[in-house]
Amino acid sequence: MSDYKLFTSCLWQTTSAVVSTPDRLYLFDPAYFPHEIEAIAEYVQSVRNGRELVLVLTHGDWDHIVGYPRFADAKLIGHKKITDPERLAKKLQKARKFDGSYYVNRPYELNPPAFDKLVEQVEAWEEVRFIPVPGHTVDQLATLFCEQKLLVVGDMLSNLEFPFVDDSSAYLSSLQAIEKLVVDGEVEELIPGHGVPAKGRESILHRIRRDQEYLLAARKLIFEGVAAGTSEEALAESFRQISYDGAPIGQYLQDSHEQNRIVLMKEAVSLTG
């Protein structure tokens, strides 16, 4: 059984995991509201016992990065592309706008973080393996705890969401890489960025396969439609009918589904020249 504690924000059920190893505590994406982050900090302090604290940002989306200043003595780790100045500035501004709009009083400034370690490709480090898994974002980073067979994956494979896509081809490749880890017996438990963990081979594979089916169906509809010269209005109407895991897309996620269509349209147009 993996030794971890999971904190779930009331905002989008964003998950913040604290994973224990003999020499270190690993903290992922502390989120979101100040009182929630403070509860995480109190827990970390109560179990740390002199161990090194490693704070991993799975990716640079604003709801995942707001908590890092509270853990000033942590070793901060992320994907190399998370430090893109323009993109990072936009994400931090979104967090400031959200806080300002809802009168969230955050007791620290949201300035660009200084990372102690940046990861660009699959890399073994201490007792973990860092695995880039782009597709939702270009900078998404999964962390595999090899002995525990636990994968902290960021914004993929949620029980709450279909894929939110930045690059559909990269997303499918990342799903394939995770599927191989599961089939090879290297992963038996998975913590997503939102919602509850998937435990056991079949549970994880179910999440992988339903995401693959959604992406493949969406790509087929848009890519073939663009190649055939189908109007964008007709493609948009057909796209709204795509289901996920055997059910229609929920009304509150329709905007994200539509955003996926826009991304896929751009990809399809670039392929046709």
pLDDT tens profile 134-160: 999 999 999 999 999 999 999 999 999
Contact present, 110 and 90 (Cβ < 8 Å): no
Task: Count how many residues are written for the chain.
Answer: 273
Beta bridge mates, 123: 130
- Specify the pLDDT at position 47: 95
User: Which residue range forms the structural domain that includes residue 245?
Assistant: 4-272
Mean pLDDT of 244-255: 92
In angstroms, the CA 211 to CA 129 distance is 24
- Specify the pLDDT at position 2: 57
- Specify the pLDDT at position 273: 65
In angstroms, the CA 227 to CA 126 distance is 48
- Specify the pLDDT at position 15: 97
The residue type of 146 is: C
If pLDDT is split at 50, 70 and 90, which confidence band does 78 have? very high
User: In this model, does residue 97 exceed pLDDT 80?
Assistant: yes
Mean of per-residue pLDDT scores for the chain:
95
CATH number of the domain that residue 260 is part of = 3.60.15.10
Output the pTM of the full model.
Answer: 0.94
Percent of the chain surpassing pLDDT 90? 96
pLDDT tens profile 254-272: 999 999 999 999 999 988 7
Query: How many domains in the chain?
Result: 1
In angstroms, the CA 4 to CA 195 distance is 15
Long-range contacts of 111-116 (CB under 8 A, 24+ apart): 111/69, 112/83, 112/85, 112/88, 113/57, 113/65, 113/68, 113/69, 113/76, 113/78, 114/76, 115/76, 115/77, 115/78, 115/82, 115/83, 116/75, 116/76, 116/77
- Specify the pLDDT at position 272: 77
pLDDT tens profile 34-45: 999 999 999 999
> What is residue 47's three-state secondary structure?
helix
pLDDT tens profile 180-220: 999 999 999 999 999 999 999 999 999 999 999 999 999 99
pLDDT tens profile 1-20: 458 999 999 999 999 999 99
If pLDDT is split at 50, 70 and 90, which confidence band does 126 have? confident
